[in-house]
Amino acid sequence: MDIKQIQDLIKFVSKSGVNEVSIEEQDFKITIKTNQEPTYVAAQPQQQMVAQVPAAAPAPVAAAAPAPIAIDDASKYITVKSPMIGTFYRSSNPEKPSFVNVGDEISAGQVVCIIEAMKLFNEIESEVSGRIVKVLVENAQPVEYDQPLFLVEPI
């Protein structure tokens, strides 16, 4: 890695909200840590927090109600997850149509999105065949390793 790539990686890590990234190659190892507070995502603590202040925040209570229903419905779907951290893109460039949309049938090996990491655009292929039920990530949003990207109904 040259100094420019390291600087780009540092900028990417600071923008993405990731607390730590380690990269190891044959003769090179780098670990970048940020001073940001760790972000923990857990369904139950959020529900407890909402339950403690229902009068002060009625909108989050209404938004939290459909979430358990979606989780129950998601049990019959297969989740396509991110194989890396980076920035999620639905198409190869802004002028092109999305690789897949809700309702599209996909097959194993079909490109469903691109994840950009360190100036490299990685085509992400589906490992399953089925129909796209839901896109779980907004275009140009940072994604984490193993973060759900799509829900697919198997055919």
Write out pLDDT tens, residues 30-71: 777 776 555 444 444 444 444 444 444 444 444 444 444 344
Residue predicted with more confidence, 10 or 124: 124
Question: Do residues 134 and 102 lie in contact, with contact meaning Cβ atoms separated by under 8 Å?
Answer: yes
Q: What does the alpha-carbon distance between residue 55 and residue 37 come to, in Å, rounded to a whole number?
A: 28
Judged by DSSP in three states, 136 sits in: coil
Helix/strand/coil (H/E/C) assignment for every residue in 31-80: EEECCCCCCCCCHHHHHHHHHHCCCCCHHHHHHHCHHHHHHHHHCCCEEE
Overall average pLDDT of the 96-125 stretch:
93
**Angle, vertex CA 128, rays to CA 131 and CA 71, nearest 5:** 65
The pLDDT confidence band at residue 28, using thresholds 50, 70 and 90, is: confident
116-129, pLDDT tens digit by residue? 998 899 999 999 99
Question: Distance between CA 139 and CA 144 in Å, rounded?
Answer: 14
